[in-house]
Structures are given as C-alpha cells and as structure tokens.
Amino acid sequence: MKDPVCGMEMGEKGEVFSYKGKEYRFCCASCRWAFENNPEHFENES
C-alpha cells in the first residue's frame, strides 16, 4: 500500500485513516493530517 500524500510504500504499519469505506495508510501523523484536511485532493491521486 502506498501513502497517498508522500508516495512512500507502506506495509501493514503506519497511521491508518478510513474515508468513504476505503482504508488509507500513512507513514506519519503529518501525512495523515494532510489527507484528513483535504481527502478529495489525495483520493484522486492514489
């Protein structure tokens, strides 16, 4: 799984956030925060 904010390859580790029934994983809290504040921007890029 790839972090939709920074593009880092993620395994089963990292920050998790669910949006519209899909689970996203992030390398750190700041990437998760960026996604949470503008999910439509990153959702279309992942």
d(CA 26, CA 28): 5
* CATH number for the domain whose boundaries are 1-46: 2.30.170
The 10s digit of each residue's pLDDT in 21-31 is: 999 999 999 99
Q: What is the domain partition of the chain in residue ranges?
A: 1-46
pLDDT at 34 over 60: yes
Residue 40: other Cβ atoms inside 10 A? 8
CA angle 46, 36, 3 (to 5 degrees): 35
**pLDDT score at 46:** 52
More confident: 44 or 30: 30
Residues 6+ apart with CB under 8 A from 3: 9, 10, 14, 25, 26, 27, 31
